[in-house]
Structure formats: C-alpha cells, structure tokens
Amino acid sequence: MFRNSFFFSLLIINTIIIAQTPIDSSKYPKLTTFTSQQDHDNMKSQLGIVHLRPGKNGNENAPNAANYDENNANPCPVLPQILQLNNGKKVTSPDMWWKERRPEIVEEFEKEVYGRLPKNIPSVNWKVKIVDKEFVNRIPVVAKEIIGQVDNSAYPLIDVNIKMVLVTPSNVKGPVPVLMMFGWPSLPAPAQPSPDDLQKINDSFKKMMIQADPSMGEIFEKYPAYQPITRLPAPNFFTQPKPDDQLTPQERLLAAGWGYCTIDPSSIQADNGSGLTRGIIGLVNKGQPRKADDWGALRAWSWGAARALDYLETDTLVNAKKVGIEGVSRYGKAALVTLAFKPRFAVGLIGSSGKGGVTLHRRSFGESVENLAGGGAHHWMAGNYLKYATEEGKCGKKTGCDLKVDSHQLLALCAPRPTFISYGIPEKGDAKWLDQQGSWEATVAAGSAFKLLGSKDLGVTNDYKKEVIPPVLKSLTDGHLAWRQHDGGHTDAPNFPTFIAWANQLLK
C-alpha cells in the first residue's frame, strides 16, 4: 500500500526498545530443542522400533517407486466395519451409533492415528486487532484481523498467538454463513486514507524525517510538491466486474452472501517435526517431547480451528450455526480431521487430501503409510502411527493393514453433516500420488453411516469394491455426502461454484 521506503524510515524513526522483565527459565522444565530427525528418532526409541520401511518415491522410475498398478493396490481389500461394534454386534440405530459405535471409532483414531487432545490445553483470549471497511471485487465487506492469544502462564517460555482474518459481506442482511479456510490470512483490500488525511500524514512524516536528519529539509525544499507516501488508485466502480472464470474462491463466497475466515495453521503448530516441542503441542508439554499417543499437527490445527469457531460464535456478523471448514492437501487432511472430531462445524470441503485424509491407509497406491511415518511427515500424526511402517521392532512387523480403523470411518464421523470430497486430475498436477481411487472407495463405504443417521449419501450402493469412480466433472451432489473430480490441478478452486450451490441448498 505505502512505499517500502516509508516503512523503513518509519521503523528507524519510531523504534523504541521496551525493557521487559526477563523470564526466570530455571523455574520451568528446560525447553527441548530437536531437529525433525531427532524427534523422529526419539519416538522410534519410545516405541522400541529398530527399523522402519522407507517411504515410496513418487517418481515411477525410481528404485523405490510407489505402486501405481491397481492390481497390486489392495493387499487387504476388506475394510473395517463401520456399523459393527468391536464385540461384533450390528449397529442398527442412531442411538447405538452415538452412544456406542462412534466412541469406539474415535478412541482408535485418537490412540493410533491422529493422537489425543490433552486435558490441560490452556484457554485462548481473542482480540480484534483491526476492523476495516473494504471492497472486494466491488462487494462491500467488513474485514477483521484477529489474534488468539493462548494462555502461557504455566509455561511462559513458549508463546502461541493464533492468526486469522474474517471477511463478511456488508451488503447482506443478518448474520452470514462463513467458510473457515486453512491458509495464510491477510486483509484483502485495506482501506486507504482520504486525500486530506493523507496530506496530514505526509506533513507529519516530513517533520519527523527532518528532525531525524536536518539535511532532509533541503531536499523537501528542492521538491516542494513531492509526497513521500502515495496511495493506490481508488476502485473504479464503473468498470465491469471480473469474469466468472477469474473469481477467487473468496470472491465467490462473498458474491453468494457468505463470509470467509482464513486461519494460519503455522501460528498454531509448526508444520515440521522440529516444532513439536514448540507451538500449542510444545506449550502443553512444557517444551518436552511427545508421548506415543499425543496429538500431532493435524489435530493441533483442528483444535485451533475449533477455538477460532469459539470467536465466531461471539461475532454478530456470523451465523455460527453455519460455519464450514475447508482445506487442500495437508490442510485438506486437517479440514477432514476437524469436521470429524468437531461436531459444531456444519459443513466441510475436503480438497485433495490424500493419505492421512480421505484416501484409505491400507491401500498401496502412491503415497504410503511409510511416507507419513517417515521423518518428513510424522509430525502430522500420533507417534503410534509409526508402528504401521515397522519392519522390525518391539511391536513386530506391521503395515497399514494392521490398523483397526481407516479413512472411510473418519468420513463416517462427519455424518450426518454435509461433506464434500474434492479432487483434481493428475494431468493438471493433482498427482496420482494422492490416490483418487482410494478416496472414492472410502467415500462410497462411508455412506452407510450417513444413511443410518437419516442423511442421503452419494446415491450409489456402499459396495466400495464394485462402484466405479465417476467421470471427471461428474457431480454427485444430491446428498449430504458429495463427490466431484474437477479438471484442474492441486486445488479445490474449480469446485467452489458446485460446492456453494450444494451447501446453500443443504444449509438452507
């Protein structure tokens, strides 16, 4: 907005060193500093793992190439039952689902896959930092920059400040539905000072510069009309709006009367193994390494989203009963975990989530359990997940086939709420690595839970072995469980028009 020189000069002029009372670190457990590999090795030691199988390579010509042959993709094709209790009894009613079966599935996912939320997670104090009236593609909006300060009084060596931006249309009456999106929050179009206000800013700024450096006075006398701070041209409301094919997902939401909220996952928990003794996980553990069933980053991001929903429930511009969750790739995994474990979210758009998301863990196609359990992605999952890539260790040899749960059951935890599964195509960059077929099978199988709870599923049978994946651009959106594979790449943006129309109908 303003020139970089302005910010640089202002920083020099206004830098103030504020003395703070130092923290006596001797009063608290010493903060552990691990590399990602050291954290991974620590968890292997806890579990008694001697050797993990290496992850697969996405390059089909590599020595350890991933399998892309459907004939070899299903080493254990029979999926764990959704509607059957651990004791073998069939689940025949919604009451049995909520009181008996759902808790069983949750317990297994928490213990072995995504980790448990600790009981002593500190509270979050939300503060609205900025409220700005802006225009987005000629739509008037209220944009808010919001910070969630996590109480770190029990361990002040770690700070966690959750960052998010909320944008709601101001040309719509009443509170609006909001889609929470995992990403990088920023104000979309910050309002600029009026010409009169800008003149006052420039006058004051010139005085400060001259005070800091008297020689600046001669320069300003030489160029009396020069203004150090300029502004962007005002929006031209007489031009045509952007063509439909150029609209961003955020612009589509606003045009449909929705708001959106962007939340920064890295401000909750870093996306790496070395960060597990920092962020919200490190804060709760007082800087110590995780235990085997502690939560990983996916559940931490999910927890942060739920705390953001706490704030949205207090904002009069938001219809908190109609807040959805969205994400792509690793954030698609996080969005699914959020929808599954957090019933207050009304709808979900799960984009290109792959293994650890919608794709079946026991499938051997593209990305593998070994890839998630390896040192590059283990922080997403519970430590116990490493067991399922073990070749030699205390637990014996295990594979994804040894998991008692799988992603079709995670999808089932979302029922009966509207859940939209989105993928692109490999030709455009939504790689085969993601295993679209494995996600399709999980979505088909999950339908039984939606039906039990009175919602409509994909409108096909729940026979995941026989149902054929639909053609690209074929929308299965007649029920609360939806599927659409667009013809774009690693994004869910092409599916937003379909998603919004579908969600509007179901959320009324």
pLDDT of residue 197: 81
When the pLDDT of each residue in the chain is averaged and rounded to a whole number, the result is: 93
Residues paired with 163 in a beta bridge: 147
Report the pLDDT averaged over residues 47-52: 98
Q: Output b/e per residue, 354-380; b: 16+ Cβ within 10 A.
A: bbbbbbbbbbbbbbbbbbbbbbebbbb
- End-to-end Cα distance, the chain: 39
Residue 170 has pLDDT above 60, yes or no: yes
Residue 10 has pLDDT above 70, yes or no: no
Domains of the chain: 70-189+245-507 (3.40.50.1820)
Residue 455 has pLDDT above 90, yes or no: yes
Q: Are 502 and 478 in contact (CB under 8 A)?
A: no
pLDDT of residue 276: 98
pLDDT of residue 233: 61
Q: What is the rounded distance in angstroms from the CA atom of residue 93 to the CA atom of residue 501?
A: 31
Q: Are 449 and 465 in contact (CB under 8 A)?
A: no
Residue 359's closest CA among 437, 475, 412?
A: 437
Report the pLDDT averaged over residues 375-402: 97
β-sheet with 347-351: strand ranges across: 124-136, 139-150, 161-169, 259-263, 176-182, 318-328, 347-351, 419-423, 481-485
For tokens 């000069």, name the residue: 9
Q: Is 106 helix (H, G, I), strand (E, B) or coil?
A: helix
Residue 442's closest CA among 479, 467, 472, 475?
A: 467
pLDDT of residue 5: 40
Q: Which DSSP string do the residues of 475-500 spell out, in sequence order?
A: -B-SSSEEEEE-SSSS-SGGGHHHHH
Residue 16 has pLDDT above 90, yes or no: no
> How confident is residue 20, by pLDDT bands cut at 50, 70 and 90?
low
> How confident is residue 421, by pLDDT bands cut at 50, 70 and 90?
very high
pLDDT of residue 6: 40
Q: What is the rounded distance in angstroms from the CA atom of residue 492 to the CA atom of residue 101?
A: 32
Report the pLDDT averaged over residues 69-95: 98
pLDDT of residue 14: 44
Per residue in 196-248, pLDDT (tens digit) is: 787 888 888 888 988 989 888 888 888 888 888 887 665 555 567 788 889 99
Q: Output b/e per residue, 291-328; b: 16+ Cβ within 10 A.
A: ebebbbbbbbbbbbbbbbbebbeebebbbbebbbbbbb
Q: Of 118-122, 191-195, 215-219, where does the model show the most confidence?
A: 118-122
Q: What is the rounded distance in angstroms from the CA atom of residue 168 to the CA atom of residue 139?
A: 10
Report phi then psi at 99, rounded to 5.
-90, -30
Q: Are 377 and 40 in contact (CB under 8 A)?
A: no
Question: 45: how many CB neighbours lie within 10 A of its CB?
Answer: 10
Distance of alpha carbon 411 from its chain centroid, rounded? 16
Per residue in 266-275, pLDDT (tens digit) is: 999 999 999 9
Task: Give the containing element (helix H, strand E) for 169.
Answer: strand 161-169
Q: Are 190 and 134 in contact (CB under 8 A)?
A: yes
pLDDT of residue 501: 98
For tokens 């989105």, name the residue: 422
Residues paired with 482 in a beta bridge: 420
pLDDT of residue 235: 57
Q: What is the rounded distance in angstroms from the CA atom of residue 240 to the CA atom of residue 7?
A: 34
Task: Give the containing element (helix H, strand E) for 419.
Answer: strand 419-423
Residue 9 has pLDDT above 70, yes or no: no
Residue 13 has pLDDT above 70, yes or no: no
Residue 326's closest CA among 345, 303, 300?
A: 345
Per residue in 483-501, pLDDT (tens digit) is: 999 999 999 999 999 999 9
